[in-house]
Amino acid sequence: MSNRFNAWKEKQILFVSGKGGVGKSLVAAGLAHDLAKAGKRVLLAEIGETSYYKDFWNLPSIGHEPVRHPDGFDIALWSGETSLREYVLFYLKMERLYSLFFENKVMRSLVNVAPGLSEIAILGKITSGIRKVGPPLPYDTIIVDSFATGHALALLQAPKGMMEAIKFGPMGHHSREMDKAIKDPKLTGYIVVTLLEELPVTESLEFNQTLKTELGVQVDVVANKILEMPVALTEIDQIANGQGEPAPDLQEFSRYLEKTERRQEKYMQTLKESGVDVVTVPLIFSSEPKVLVQATGEALRNG
């Protein structure tokens, strides 16, 4: 096992983020698969209103309450509304009171526009096990398939904003406890997924810098969909430059490989120079969910 995978095994919460389209959900699923194989009780928690994994695995439904996946981990979908509902019901203990205050049009409108309230509700659910608040979460590790990097920052910055706005009472107390939990490197880890391309790498490093500045935490980077070269770059160069009079199609393909390899080398060097730890996942030539998840998990475990 890699040093990074061993470190991830020790975390109670792992946030997985990244620019849209880089494959963060597949990385989160691969990590859940292999942590479960390693004997951990794992929950893969999607954040948002709709489930990616429902269609990916062709499951009947995924909701707020965890459901079991055949590979040995649980899956749930946590939104701001469902998390807030659970939190309020836990304290009020009465469904009718919740309905009275939160299911009328005026209150729903206020809840929807309240700054940071949805993020606080979600983060409260994610950290509830650590803080021993609300229904028990019987897991060793919660892997959070989080928002894309911009919205993920808003999620992680929400407790600080709420602490500054509400200094006393339950909300202020819970916000301070959430902030403490997400800043504790023994409890919480952060993974940002990127492609070795300019915009995803730039966004990943900006995400890392913001978390270092505001939370004092370090991000691990997963470089996804690495095209592994079939031959040495020197041989590719020779074919791309026409040595040996290769067929036109082969020469064109070699030029593509040469360009891709040099781009990958450039942005891998950019990541390493920034000081982040990088784990690589190869481009997997399959459309089968089982193959994709197992291969991604294996790469994360050994990378």
**Full pLDDT tens readout for the chain, 303 residues:** 688 999 999 999 999 999 999 999 999 999 999 999 999 999 999 999 999 999 999 999 999 999 999 999 999 999 988 888 787 777 655 555 556 555 656 455 555 555 578 899 999 999 999 999 888 899 999 999 999 999 999 999 999 988 888 787 777 888 999 999 999 999 999 999 999 999 999 999 999 999 999 999 989 999 999 988 766 656 656 655 766 666 566 667 777 777 888 899 999 999 999 999 999 999 999 999 999 999 999 999 997
**Could you tell me the domains of the chain?**
3-229+276-302 (3.40.50.300)
Distance between CA atoms of residues 129 and 238, nearest Å: 58
Q: Give CA angle at 234 (276, 246), nearest 5°.
A: 135
Give the number of residues written for the chain: 303
**Cα Dmax for the chain:** 80
pTM confidence score: 0.89
Q: Give CA angle at 85 (84, 89), nearest 5°.
A: 115
Output the pLDDT for position 163.
84
Work out the angle between the directed axes of helices 149-165 and 198-214 (0-180°, nearest 10).
20
Number of neighbouring beta carbons within 10 Å of residue 236: 21
Distance between CA atoms of residues 175 and 163, nearest Å: 6
Output the pLDDT for position 106.
47
Distance between CA atoms of residues 34 and 143, nearest Å: 12
Output the pLDDT for position 111.
54
> What is the spatial order of strands in the sheet that 13-18 belongs to?
67-68, 74-78, 42-47, 141-145, 13-18, 188-194, 219-226, 277-282
Residue matched to tokens 């946030």: 15
